[in-house]
Amino acid sequence: MITENRMKAKIKAGEPAFGVSITFPAPELAEMVAQVGYDWILIDAEHGSHTITDVYQMVLACELHGLTPIVRPQVKDADVILRYMDRGAMGVQVPHVNTAEEAEAAVRAVKFHPVGDRGLGGGRKSYGMSTSEFIEAANRETLVCVQIEHMEGVENLDEILQVPDVDVFFIGPSDLSQSMGYPGQRTNPEVKKVLAECFRKIHAAGKASGTPGGPSEAAENVERGILYHYTHSQNLIATSGRA
């Protein structure tokens, strides 16, 4: 059944939500992360090794401990997104969104009629609910996050921000720095300038923003009004180990 997406509720209330990105199949790690008090898990199938079965198992672990499972698909393809949604993902973080049309396509892939055109096979979340109840709950609780990580997306950001039913506009600093000709140089003054302007536009439009970052970066980003945060599991382990 579809239950409340507590991470989405926090963001809608203007509260920061903190997550951990996991790139390999490890339900036990998701369970450990839950005990520390995180809000959500990014199941990263774009850069990770997750199969559809792995994602299903990760989703189950998240559900057991009250974490919100969000999947980053390999590509911005409706057929790929559908399979993850039907396995119980509560939303997607769609990579490489460069135009308003691509953002609209992401919404359509996640939402059912009348908001979108996701295939109505139901999936495991529909068990125990009527079709109408399931559609209403799924459209209300699922989250759509689009990643702006190329200069083309930055140049089209004003139009992308006008797309309805996108919950989070995520700025990916690594790929964006590469797109600008400064690969990996997140702190390059030119890169920082573009990042700051993106967040300014998102917040001025009254929308929620997101970006990755470790502990010190996350604290700074909260002060900047960013609501959707995650650190990578390998960074979390390394930081804890050094501490």
Contact 191, 181 (CB under 8 A): no
- Is the previous residue joined to 114 through a cis bond, with omega within 30 degrees of 0? yes
Structure tokens at 166: 């996108």
Which of 47, 65, 150, 203 is catalytic? The answer is 47
Is there a catalytic annotation at residue 96?
no
Per DSSP, the three-state class of 128 is coil
Q: What angle do CA 70, 50, 142 make, to 5 degrees?
A: 20
- CA atoms lying within 13 Å on the CB side of residue 52: 9
**Which H or E element spans position 28?**
helix 27-36
Residue identified by tokens 């490890």 is 26
DSSP-derived secondary structure for 170-231? EE-HHHHHHHTT-TT-TT-HHHHHHHHHHHHHHHHTT-EEEEE--HHHHHHHHHTT--EEEE
Residue with tokens 């409706």: 78
Q: List active site positions.
A: 47
